[in-house]
């Protein structure tokens, strides 16, 4: 199996600023942990690949030229005028303009395009800096500026793939990707997310133009429930579509300990879900997404690369990795809530529990004919 890890140093060099939920260390920690574990090879069948930056022409395939111009102008000329702020939702607390933003967002697009091109030859491309699934055609949303998951899907379509499955495991509804492919029967979209949480779309009965299924799960979902939903609803729906390629947004915010959701999955549960989905087609792109706890994000996405590239997940981490994890900070996670295993291991303890009736109702609803 050919696998590629795609990323860029730009994610270490630029950032949202300390007062933003994404102001925490994320991709930089993943890269360093993978280096420390000897999991990033400069060449060979599972090599690290530097992400290209998408050109303006590429970005305009899915984004409105006026919006893209406003984003560029915002970074170049400073404060965003109120009318622009309102129209494109940039220069706000939610979607701030920061130095390097345009190149960073364009690099996420370039990475997801390359991920699909490489995976189209057969294999799995891993691009954890991707997953900005809320971005809309003509405005920013939910910390996202350009919709790189939609670009991964689009790239497969442009290469001639006729059935592309998009699965969104992030704690929030993959609304931007759903919107991008409304009416396109070549794409089928499945999103699991926490119910009654921002952006409050993706309700159980919402199927876009018929090509989407949404599974809004109740608070506190455990591993047993997620495994059950995967086996009884997500995988059957996916197999029915018979995909030629799969794009997965694997946000780390469904994990126990994330400050922006109450989902309580272990990272092992998410890894198992991704690997089961990756087994459905010869070509798979795996992206990151949300995730607001620097310890659970880093361990999840490091271990996910371990699983994708068929490495053994170590029981304990080497001292330099423990030191790195101990050095992380996060204003949104209280010190007393920090779990000891967040700094010493990669795999979380499994969170087993009963399967609630609501979980069975969700499966029945999404499998039912319209």
Q: Which positions are annotated as active-site residues?
A: 134
Considering the complex, state which of residue 34 and residue 252 has its C-beta at the smaller distance from Zn ion: 252
Q: How far is residue 36's CA from residue 216's CA, in Å, rounded to a whole number?
A: 37
Residue 131 Cβ, how far from Zn ion at the closest point, in Å? 9
Supply the DSSP symbol for 252: S
Please tell me whether residue 176 binds Zn ion under the rule CB under 5 A: no
Main-chain dihedrals φ then ψ at residue 190, nearest 5 degrees? -125, 130
Single out the segment in contact with Zn ion by CB under 5 A; choices: 72-80, 163-171, 211-219, 224-232.
Answer: 163-171
Single out the segment in contact with Zn ion by CB under 5 A; choices: 172-180, 225-233, 311-319, 344-352.
Answer: 172-180
User: Within the chain, where are the H helices?
Assistant: 10-13, 27-36, 56-59, 65-77, 82-88, 101-120, 148-158, 175-180, 223-229, 235-241, 267-278, 294-308, 319-326, 357-367
Main-chain dihedrals φ then ψ at residue 164, nearest 5 degrees? -115, 125
Residue 134 Cβ, how far from Zn ion at the closest point, in Å? 8
Residue 343 Cβ, how far from Zn ion at the closest point, in Å? 24
258-261 — which CB contacts under 8 Å span 24+ positions?
A: 258/171, 258/291, 258/292, 258/293, 258/296, 259/21, 259/292, 259/293, 259/330, 259/332, 259/333, 260/21, 260/171, 260/290, 260/292, 260/332, 261/171, 261/172, 261/194, 261/197
> Among 337, 344, 250, 324, which residue's Cα sits nearest to residue 293?
337
Please tell me whether residue 134 binds Zn ion under the rule CB under 5 A: no
Interface size with Zn ion, residues (CB under 5 A): 6
Considering the complex, state which of residue 142 and residue 243 has its C-beta at the smaller distance from Zn ion: 142
Question: Among 58, 75, 170, 194, which residue sits at the site for Zn ion (rule: CB under 5 A)?
Answer: 170
For the four alpha carbons of 288, 101, 53 and 188, in that order, the dihedral sign comes to positive
Single out the segment in contact with Zn ion by CB under 5 A; choices: 11-19, 22-30, 60-68, 171-179.
Answer: 171-179
Single out the segment in contact with Zn ion by CB under 5 A; choices: 8-16, 124-132, 167-175, 342-350.
Answer: 167-175
Please tell me whether residue 258 binds Zn ion under the rule CB under 5 A: no
Supply the DSSP symbol for 172: S
Cis amide bond preceding 199, omega within 30: yes
Please tell me whether residue 333 binds Zn ion under the rule CB under 5 A: no
Question: Among 172, 213, 299, 307, which residue sits at the site for Zn ion (rule: CB under 5 A)?
Answer: 172
Residue 39 Cβ, how far from Zn ion at the closest point, in Å? 25
Considering the complex, state which of residue 245 and residue 250 has its C-beta at the smaller distance from Zn ion: 250
Tokens of 346: 């990669």
Tokens of 97: 């303009």
SS3 call for 164: strand
x-marked contacts with Zn ion along 279-298 as a string, rule CB under 5 A: -----------x--------
Residue 170 Cβ, how far from Zn ion at the closest point, in Å? 4
Please tell me whether residue 253 binds Zn ion under the rule CB under 5 A: yes
Considering the complex, state which of residue 171 and residue 190 has its C-beta at the smaller distance from Zn ion: 171
Single out the segment in contact with Zn ion by CB under 5 A; choices: 71-79, 120-128, 252-260, 334-342.
Answer: 252-260
Q: Which residue is nearest to Zn ion (CB)?
A: 290
Please report which helix (H) or strand (E) contains residue 26, including its range.
none
Residue 93 Cβ, how far from Zn ion at the closest point, in Å? 17
Question: Among 176, 251, 294, 303, which residue sits at the site for Zn ion (rule: CB under 5 A)?
Answer: 251
Residue 289 Cβ, how far from Zn ion at the closest point, in Å? 6
Question: Can you give the binding site for Zn ion, defined by CB under 5 A?
Answer: 170-172, 251, 253, 290
């Amino acid at each position: 199996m050919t696998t590629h890890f795609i990323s860029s140093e730009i994610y270490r060099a630029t950032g949202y600023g300390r007062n933003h939920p994404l102001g925490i260390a994320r991709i930089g920690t993943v890269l360093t942990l993978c280096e420390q574990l000897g999991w990033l090879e400069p060449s060979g069948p599972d090599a690290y690949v530097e992400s290209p930056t998408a050109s303006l022409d590429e970005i305009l395939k899915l984004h409105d030229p006026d919006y893209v111009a406003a984003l560029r102008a915002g970074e170049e000329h400073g404060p965003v005028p109120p009318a622009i702020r309102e129209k494109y939702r940039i220069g706000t607390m939610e979607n701030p303009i920061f130095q390097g933003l345009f190149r960073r967002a364009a690099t996420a697009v370039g990475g997801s395009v390359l991920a699909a091109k490489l995976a189209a030859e057969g294999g799995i491309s891993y691009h954890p800096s991707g997953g900005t699934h809320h971005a809309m055609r003509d405005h920013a949303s939910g910390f996202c500026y350009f919709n790189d998951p939609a670009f991964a899907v689009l790239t497969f379509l442009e290469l001639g793939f006729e059935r592309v499955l998009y699965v969104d495991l992030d704690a929030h509804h993959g609304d931007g990707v759903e919107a991008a492919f409304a009416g396109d029967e070549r794409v089928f979209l499945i999103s699991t997310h926490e119910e009654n949480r921002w952006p409050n779309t993706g309700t159980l009965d919402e199927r876009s133009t018929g090509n989407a299924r949404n599974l809004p799960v109740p608070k506190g979902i455990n591993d047993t429930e997620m495994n059950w939903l995967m086996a009884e609803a997500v995988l059957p729906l996916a197999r029915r579509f018979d995909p030629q390629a799969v794009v997965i947004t694997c946000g780390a915010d469904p994990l126990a300990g994330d400050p922006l959701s109450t989902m309580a999955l272990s990272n092992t549960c998410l890894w198992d879900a991704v690997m089961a989905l990756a087994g459905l087609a010869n070509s798979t792109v795996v992206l990151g997404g949300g995730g607001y706890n620097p310890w659970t994000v880093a361990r999840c996405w490091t271990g996910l690369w371990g699983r994708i590239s068929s490495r053994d997940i170590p029981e304990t981490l080497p001292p330099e990795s423990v030191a790195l994890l101990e050095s992380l900070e996060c204003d949104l996670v209280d010190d007393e809530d920090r779990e000891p295993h967040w700094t010493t291991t990669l795999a979380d303890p499994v969170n087993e529990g009963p399967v609630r009736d609501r979980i069975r109702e969700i499966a029945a609803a999404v499998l039912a004919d319209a």
